[in-house]
Amino acid sequence: MLSNSLAYAIKALIYISHNSSETERITLKEVSDSTEVPKPYIAKILQDLVRNNVLHSIKGPNGGFYFSEEGLDISLLQVVHILEGPDKYNKCLLSLKDCNASSPCPLHDNIGQVRVELLKRLEQITFRQLMQHKKSVDLF
Amino acid sequence: MLSNSLAYAIKALIYISHNSSETERITLKEVSDSTEVPKPYIAKILQDLVRNNVLHSIKGPNGGFYFSEEGLDISLLQVVHILEGPDKYNKCLLSLKDCNASSPCPLHDNIGQVRVELLKRLEQITFRQLMQHKKSVDLF
DNA sequence: ATATTTAAAGACCTTTTTATCTTTTTTTAT
DNA sequence: ATAAAAAAAGATAAAAAGGTCTTTAAATAT
C-alpha cells in the first residue's frame, strides 16, 4: 500500500527524530545500520528530504542528519509529496479524467472514501506524534 | 493507490459485465477499443483472469470473453489476489515482521485502519454491483 | 595546511511493471 | 477440407522502481 521507499523514509525519519538534535547528528551509517535499509539507498532518500527541508544535514566530522524543531511538525503527506509526487493518492482510482463528485466513477463513492480518509490521516500525522509512539523506541 | 493493471482490469471487467452473456461474447478488440487499454496488454490481463475463472473465453469466430452468472459475484479483492498476489494490502505498512494488534508499529492503529477498511470494501464489491452503477454504462 | 570524516552527486546495475509484437492453437463457417 | 476469426502463448522492449558503487565537496580536528 505504501511504496518501499516511503516505508524506508518513515522508518529512517522516526529513528532520526528520536536520536537527533541540532547538536547531536546521526550519521548515514547509523541510520542504515538501525533501519536495515541499504546505505546508498537510504542516502538517496535522505538527500531528497534534505533538499526539501524536511531534514538538515552537516558534512564532515561530527556531521550527519538532524531534525530541527520545525521539521518535527512536517506531516507524512508532505513526505509523500516529496518522494512520490502530489498525484500518488490524489487521482481517480480508474484514472478517468472527468471523475468527480457530480460525475463519479463506479469506485469514487466507495473506495474513494477510503482514499480521502487516507489523505486526511497522512496530513494529520507528524513526526512529533510518531516519535511519541511507544513502539517507535524499540522499532530498531 | 491501485496499480495500472488493476485499474485496467476493473474497467475491462465492467465493460464485459455490461455487454456479455454466455451467447454474446466480447472480442479482445472491442474491449481494447472501448477501454482504451492497449490490446496486447489487456489481453495478458484477461488471459490471467480466464485462467483463474473470473471470466470465460471461447476462441474462433463469434468467440470472445464473457462473464458467467457466478462470475459476476466475484469480488474486487479476488481480482486483486489474482493480479497482485495476496500480500498487496495485507502486510505491515512499514514491513515489520512482528507488527500486530498487541505490538503495533507506529502506523498500525492509524493508517492501518484505512488499510483494513480498504480490504473490507474490496471484499464487498462485486461486478454485479458495479455494473448497476449509473456511470458504468457510459464509462467508455 | 593537512588528513579525516562525513554527506552530496552522479553513474551504473537489477528487477518489476508496463507495453508490444509474433506465432500458435482453437473454433467456426463455408 | 479449408479459410477466417479469434484467443493463447511466448518472446521482446521500454520505463520505473529499487539498489549499488565511485567520485566530489564540505567541515572539522589536528
Chain C nucleotides covered by protein, CB below 7 Å: 4-10, 17-22, 25-29
Collapsing DSSP to helix, strand or coil, B126 comes out as strand
Count of alpha carbons within 13 Å of A54, Cβ hemisphere only? 26
- Per-residue pLDDT reduced to its tens digit, B117-138: 999 999 999 999 998 887 766 6
> How far is the C-alpha of B135 from the C-alpha of B60, rounded, in Å?
32
**Which residues have C-beta within 8 Å of that of residue A106, sequence separation ≥ 6?**
A94, B14, B130, B133, B135, B136, B139
| The pLDDT of residue A134 | 75
pTM for the whole structure: 0.92
Size of interface A-B (CB pairs under 8 A): 75
Read off the pLDDT of residues A70-126 as tens digits, 9 standing for 90 and up. 899 999 999 999 999 999 999 999 999 889 999 999 999 999 999 999 999 999 999
- Taking CB atoms and an 8 Å limit, are B117 and A117 in contact across chains? yes
Residue A44's pLDDT band (boundaries 50, 70, 90)?
very high
Q: Which residues contact A54 (CB under 8 A, 6 or more apart)?
A: A13, A71, A74, A78, A79, A82
Q: Which nucleotide is closest to B56, CA to C1'?
A: D7
Q: What is the pLDDT of residue B134?
A: 73
What pLDDT, on the 0 to 100 scale, is given for residue B52?
A: 95
Q: Which tens digit of pLDDT belongs to each residue from B68-85? A: 888 999 999 999 999 999
In this complex, the answer to whether residue B3 has its CB under 7 A from any atom of chain C, a nucleic strand, is yes
DSSP class per residue in B30-92: HHHHHHT--HHHHHHHHHHHHHTTSSEEE-STT-EEE--TGGGG-BHHHHHHHHH-TTTTSS-
A1–B115: do the CB atoms touch at under 8 Å?
yes
- pLDDT one-digit tens code per residue, B1-34: 999 999 999 999 999 999 998 899 999 999 999 9
Which residue in the block uniquely carries the three cell numbers 470494501? Answer: B121
> What was the pLDDT predicted at B97?
87
Helix and strand tally (H, E) in chain A?
Answer: 6, 2
ipTM of the predicted structure? Answer: 0.90
- % of chain B exceeding 70 in pLDDT: 97
Residues of A in contact with B130 (CB under 8 A): 106
* pLDDT in the model for residue B25: 95
Comparing A140 with A50, which gets the higher pLDDT? A50
Nucleic acid strand C within 7 Å of B43 CB: yes
SS3 A56: strand
- Whether residue B106 and residue A14 make contact (CB cut-off 8 A), yes or no, is yes
Q: Which of A7, A94, A114 sits opposite B7 (nearest CB)?
A: A94
* A89/B118 CB distance under 8 A: no
Interchain pair A114, B117: CB under 8 A = yes
- In the DSSP assignment, the letter for residue A55 is S
pLDDT of A2 > 80? The answer is yes
Instruction: Collapse the DSSP code of A126 into the 3-class scheme (helix H, G, I; strand E, B; otherwise coil) and give the result.
Output: strand
Matching residue, cell 518535527: A72
How far, in Å, CA of B119 to CA of A28, rounded? 36
CA B60 to chain A, closest CA, distance in angstroms equals 31
CATH number given to B4-137: 1.10.10.10
Name the nucleotide with the smallest C1'–CA separation from A57: C7
**Percentage of chain B lying above the pLDDT 90 cut:** 85
